[in-house]
Every structure is written in structure tokens, then in C-alpha cells.
């Protein structure tokens, strides 16, 4: 739960007998129900290798192919060059309706690098663009913004910018122009949902079905032997088939073959 104007506060903690304690006392300060935060610890302190691998998993997602056209936002309204495109030329642009934009074209794919629960970063994205009729190339979108700012905003002390906030793409499904931050949030949300499914545990359900086969039989046998099963194990069991493990879990829950381990 986040209130308007909220800032994060760091609460130092220590794990004692599996319980999270306040570092400077025994009990944690009173925290409202539903509060969400992060616990940062050294990886050597985490004893569950499966969870450690998940939290450090690397995924390289291609966002755009080469030749894709994107637009970089320039907030300085005092700039006047022929390549600037006003926001009014874009239909349904989100978040920056008062900026001007410079067209860039990728000459190599743009990727989103996801490393576990850390904020995702960009890689690739070499691009070309024009300023006052002259051609320029950049090694990345952030590099492009720096070059553009150095050329047209010479009085700025810093020429860096956040590509996630300032670079826009056209989203065909919503018929809107969106910045890359919204795209990053989308993939991070998917990753969070996968973590939820992978770590949720299940026990045997209330309905006995003697004629089970395939993945369902393996899952029930695993629970009978181990007492419960984690979503990641169900994922591994179903990996050799074309069955989506999240759909498999939902199907077994609906049939009451398994139940959530509350």
C-alpha cells in the first residue's frame, strides 16, 4: 500500500531462528497489513538454491528489431531544429504530451536485460538520427540522447537522460505511443507473476481420482511422497509436454485434486 508522496524507509533486520527481527530490538516496528517491501541479504545467506537461481535468473528479451523507428523526447521548448516533431503530431501519446520528439531508427535490435528481481536494463539499440540535416549514429538509445543534448542543449551541465522515460514506441494493441518504462513494467509484472506461481505450494486435494495419468499422476505421487509440491516442481514436471503449467495448476485446483497450502 502506497500513499501519495510516500518515500521508502529502510528497516534494518536480522534473521533469528527463521524469524525476521528488528536489528536494534526483538520485534519489528508495527507495520500495516498489506505493506510490500524488499528484504536485501547477501546471496550466501540464502540456503534455498532453487529460489536463489530464480531471483538471479537472467533473461534477454528482444523488444524491437533493427529498422524499428522510435522517438526521443526533448523537453526543452526553447530548441528549434527542423527534425523536432511536436507531441500534437502523435495520436494518443501517454505521459509526455508537452514535449517535442526526435526520430531515431535502430540499426541493431533493442533488448531488455532482466536479472532476477533487479530493475531491468537495456542492451543493444544502436541507432541513427539526424540533427539539422546531418546524420549521426549512437551505440545505444542513452548514447543517442546524450549526443542530441550535446548538440542542441549546449548550456546544460549534464547531457544524460533516462531512455526508459524519454524513448517512445507505438503500441499497436492499445493504439497509443508509450515510453519504454511502461514496457519494462509489463515484463517485470510477468516475471513477478511467474515467481508467485513458482513458489506457491500445494497439498493433496479433497477428491481422490484413481484413474489419473500423465502429469497429474506424477504431481499427486510427488505430494504423497513429499507432503506438498511447489509450483516450480509442477513446471518442471510439465516441461516435457505442451501443457502450460499454470493452466495445469488451475485445472487441478478446479477438480480439487490439489489444494493451496495455506
One domain, residues 176 and 256: no
pLDDT at 63: 96
pLDDT at 1: 52
One domain, residues 171 and 211: no
Last residue of a domain, one of 129, 154, 189: 189
Residue 215's domain spans which residues? 200-260
One domain, residues 236 and 146: no
The rounded distance, in Å, linking the Cα atoms of 175 and 169 is 11
One domain, residues 204 and 88: no
pLDDT at 12: 85
One domain, residues 90 and 180: yes
Do residues 234 and 219 make contact, with C-beta atoms less than 8 angstroms apart?
yes
Which of 76, 100, 75 lies closest to 86 in space, CA to CA? 100
Residue that the C-alpha cell 514436471 belongs to:
237
One domain, residues 93 and 166: yes
Would you call 58 helix, strand, or coil by DSSP? strand
DSSP state of 148: H
Would you call 22 helix, strand, or coil by DSSP? strand
Q: Check pLDDT > 90 for residue 186.
A: yes
pLDDT at 141: 96
DSSP state of 93: B
One domain, residues 67 and 180: yes
One domain, residues 106 and 132: yes
The rounded distance, in Å, linking the Cα atoms of 234 and 216 is 9
Q: Which triple of cell numbers denotes residue 180? A: 519504454
One domain, residues 73 and 185: yes
Do residues 64 and 242 make contact, with C-beta atoms less than 8 angstroms apart?
no
Q: How many domains does the chain have?
A: 2
| Mean pLDDT, the chain, integer | 86
Percent of residues, the chain, with pLDDT higher than 70: 93
Last residue of a domain, one of 141, 168, 189: 189
Least confident span in 23-27, 116-120, 127-131: 23-27
Total-model pTM = 0.75
pLDDT at 95: 63
One domain, residues 138 and 213: no
Q: Check pLDDT > 90 for residue 60.
A: yes
One domain, residues 67 and 179: yes
The rounded distance, in Å, linking the Cα atoms of 8 and 30 is 16
One domain, residues 156 and 234: no
The rounded distance, in Å, linking the Cα atoms of 61 and 203 is 34
Least confident span in 48-52, 100-104, 172-176, 198-202: 48-52
pLDDT at 107: 97
> Tens digit of pLDDT for each residue in 195-246?
888 888 999 988 767 778 788 999 999 999 999 999 989 988 888 777 888 8
Last residue of a domain, one of 130, 165, 189: 189
The rounded distance, in Å, linking the Cα atoms of 30 and 42 is 25
> Tens digit of pLDDT for each residue in 62-115?
999 999 999 998 876 666 777 777 777 777 776 666 678 899 999 999 999 998
Amino acid at each position: 500500500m502506497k500513499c501519495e508522496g510516500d518515500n521508502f524507509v529502510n528497516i534494518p533486520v536480522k534473521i533469528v531462528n527463521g524469524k525476521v527481527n528488528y536489528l536494534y530490538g526483538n520485534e519489528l516496528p508495527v507495520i500495516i497489513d498489506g505493506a510490500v517491501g524488499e528484504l536485501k541479504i547477501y546471496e550466501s545467506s540464502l540456503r534455498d538454491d532453487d529460489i536463489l537461481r530464480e531471483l538471479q535468473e537472467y533473461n534477454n528479451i528482444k523488444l524491437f528489431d533493427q529498422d524499428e523507428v522510435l522517438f526521443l523526447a526533448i523537453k526543452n521548448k526553447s530548441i528549434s531544429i527542423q527534425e523536432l516533431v511536436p507531441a500534437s503530431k502523435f495520436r494518443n501519446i501517454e505521459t509526455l504530451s508537452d514535449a517535442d520528439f526526435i526520430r531515431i531508427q535502430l540499426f541493431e535490435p533493442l533488448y531488455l536485460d532482466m536479472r532476477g528481481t533487479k530493475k531491468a536494463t537495456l542492451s543493444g539499440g544502436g541507432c541513427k538520427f539526424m540533427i539539422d540535416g546531418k546524420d549521426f549514429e549512437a551505440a545505444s538509445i542513452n548514447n543517442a540522447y546524450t549526443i542530441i543534448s550535446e548538440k542542441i542543449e549546449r548550456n546544460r551541465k549534464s547531457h544524460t537522460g533516462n531512455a526508459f522515460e524519454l524513448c517512445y514506441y507505438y503500441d499497436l494493441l492499445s493504439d497509443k505511443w508509450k515510453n519504454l518504462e511502461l514496457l519494462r513494467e509489463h515484463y517485470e509484472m510477468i516475471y513477478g507473476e511467474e515467481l508467485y506461481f513458482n513458489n506457491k505450494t500445494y497439498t493433496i486435494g479433497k477428491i481422490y481420482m484413481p484413474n489419473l495419468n500423465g502429469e497429474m499422476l506424477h504431481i499427486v505421487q510427488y505430494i504423497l511422497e513429499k507432503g506438498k509440491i511447489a509450483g516450480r516442481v509442477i513446471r518442471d514436471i510439465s516441461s516435457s509436454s505442451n501443457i502450460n503449467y499454470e493452466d495445469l495448476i488451475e485445472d487441478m485446483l478446479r477438480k480439487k485434486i490439489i489444494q493451496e497450502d495455506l
